[in-house]
Structures are given as C-alpha cells and as structure tokens.
C-alpha cells in the first residue's frame, strides 16, 4: 500500500463522511483500529480538519463504493498527485559564474594546504568543481599548476563564510570520530615528551645535590669575644 498523506486527517474525513468500518479505515490510513474508534468518539484528533482522499487523488470513488458495500474489502490507495511536490528537492551541482571558474584551482589549493581533512566530495559540492580537477591540483598535474596559488574561497567569492565554516566543522568532527574509533588521541596543544627524555629531571636532581660552600672562618669570626 502506498503511504497516504495526512493519515489522521484522512481518517477523520472517512469517519465523518462514509459508512466504512473502523478496521477498513485503520487499514487504509495505517492506524490502529482503536485509534480510529477514538477519532469517532471525539477523543483523538479532535482539532484536526478532515482531508478528502478522493479530492487529493489518494482514493477513487469506485474503491470507496466497493468498500462501503463489502465490510471485508480493503481499499487500495493511489499515488497522490501531490506526492511529487512533497519530495525533497535534490540539490544539483553548484553553479559557478564563468568569471569565477578560473579561480577554483586556487581555492582547491587553499583547502588542500589548510584543511586536508575536507573530503573531495565536500570540496566538489562547495566549489562546484569535480574530483578529477581536485586530483589534478593535488598531484600538480593541472594545466595551470605553475600559476595556482592558495587563496581563501570566501575571498574569491566562491562560497560564503558560513558555508566554509560548516564544511570545515563537519570534516573536523568526522576526523575526530574516525580517530577515536582507531584509538588515536591527539591533545589540543603541543605534545609534551616525558621528562626522562628531555633531561628535566636530571637537571633538577643535579641542582638539588649542589650545596653552597660555607666559609667557617666568617661564621666563627667573633668566637674570640672581639666586638666591633
């Protein structure tokens, strides 16, 4: 059965406008029969306005008439003509003005130098380029390699700062998860080597062992009772 739109609203309409059984309505709307009974009793979906499944193209009149005559008949839903409008629109490749296309290799080089963790697929979507071009820039096989200079894509007008930040953040989070899965832990600051390797402990110990020399003559200079 095709999933229908607004199942509760459709059930409300069928309860109010047809003689179908609760089981028939529940089967068509993919609800529990007790839920349909609650709708009929006014305990469920009290504030929901009914949706006509015939008007929105999910049920034809012949199916409804047959179901009303035969309690054991189960109606078959049709594909709604509105279903296509509710599907999420898949974004196509990013359009880059002709005047900006020559700047894409510079932006790719900037990413490869500053954010190598960003996946090629993310770069391709953000800059409106192809993985083949990214590989050419990475391997210095691009026809204009000698003139490519890393430049921020925001400065070049190929993306907004928000888009850039979002891509970098997503890539960083993915890298952190992958590293955690592999057991790699990288501290935020510079890695400190053990003191035994740096010689710090040895230096401290040497300093502790060296005691200042005491001049006993100065300490007991006044023992003979002489006063200044």
Q: Which of 37, 52, 86 is the last residue of a domain?
A: 86
Does 168 reside within a domain? yes
Tell me: do 82 and 155 sit in the same domain.
no
Q: What is the pLDDT of residues 134-165, one digit of tens each?
A: 999 999 999 988 999 999 998 888 888 998 89
Q: What is the pLDDT of residues 118-134, one digit of tens each?
A: 999 998 888 888 899 99
pLDDT at 18: 92
**How far is the C-alpha of 4 from the C-alpha of 7, rounded, in Å?**
6
Count of all residues that appear for the chain in the document = 228
* For residue 19, pLDDT beyond 50: yes
* For residue 14, pLDDT beyond 80: yes
* For residue 204, pLDDT beyond 50: no
* For residue 65, pLDDT beyond 60: yes
192 pLDDT band, cuts 50/70/90, is very low
Q: Which of 86, 109, 131 is the last residue of a domain?
A: 86
Buried b (16+ CB within 10 A) or exposed e, 23-62: ebbbbbbebeeebbebbeeeebbeeeebbebeebbbbeee
pLDDT at 47: 81
Tell me: do 173 and 126 sit in the same domain.
yes
**Closest CA relative to residue 158, chosen from 96, 92, 91:** 96
Domain region containing 79: 7-86
Asked if residues 164 and 153 have their Cβ atoms less than 8 Å apart, the reply is yes
pLDDT at 217: 57
Does 47 reside within a domain? yes
pLDDT at 211: 52
Tell me: do 59 and 16 sit in the same domain.
yes
Asked if residues 127 and 153 have their Cβ atoms less than 8 Å apart, the reply is yes
Does 191 reside within a domain? no
Tell me: do 129 and 58 sit in the same domain.
no
When comparing pLDDT for 214 and 111, which is higher?
A: 111
**Distance, C-alpha 32 to centroid of its chain:** 35
Domain count, the chain: 2
Does 19 reside within a domain? yes
Query: In this prediction, what percent of the chain has a pLDDT beyond 90?
Result: 33
Place of tokens 């490519």: 148
What average pLDDT does the structure give for the chain? Answer: 77
């Amino acid at each position: 059965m095709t999933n229908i739109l607004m199942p509760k609203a459709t059930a409300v309409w069928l309860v109010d406008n047809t003689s179908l059984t609760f089981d028939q309505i529940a089967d068509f709307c993919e609800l529990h029969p007790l839920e349909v009974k609650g709708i009929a009793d006014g305990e469920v979906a009290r504030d929901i306005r009914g949706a006509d499944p015939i008007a929105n193209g999910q049920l034809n009149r012949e199916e409804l008439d047959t179901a009303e005559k035969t309690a054991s008949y189960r109606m078959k839903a049709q594909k709604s003509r509105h279903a296509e409008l509710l599907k999420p629109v898949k974004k196509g490749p990013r359009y880059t003005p002709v005047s900006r296309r020559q700047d894409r290799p510079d932006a790719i080089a900037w990413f490869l130098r500053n954010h190598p963790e960003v996946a090629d697929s993310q770069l391709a979507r953000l800059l409106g380029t192809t993985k083949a071009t990214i590989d050419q820039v990475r391997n210095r096989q691009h026809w204009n390699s000698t003139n490519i200079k890393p430049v921020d894509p925001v400065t070049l007008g190929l993306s907004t700062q928000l888009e850039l930040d979002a891509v970098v953040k997503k890539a960083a989070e993915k890298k952190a998860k992958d590293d955690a899965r592999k057991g790699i832990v990288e501290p935020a600051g510079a890695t400190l080597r053990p003191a035994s390797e740096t010689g710090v402990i040895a230096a401290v110990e040497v300093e502790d062992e060296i005691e200042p020399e005491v001049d006993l003559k100065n300490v007991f200079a006044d023992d003979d009772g002489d006063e200044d």
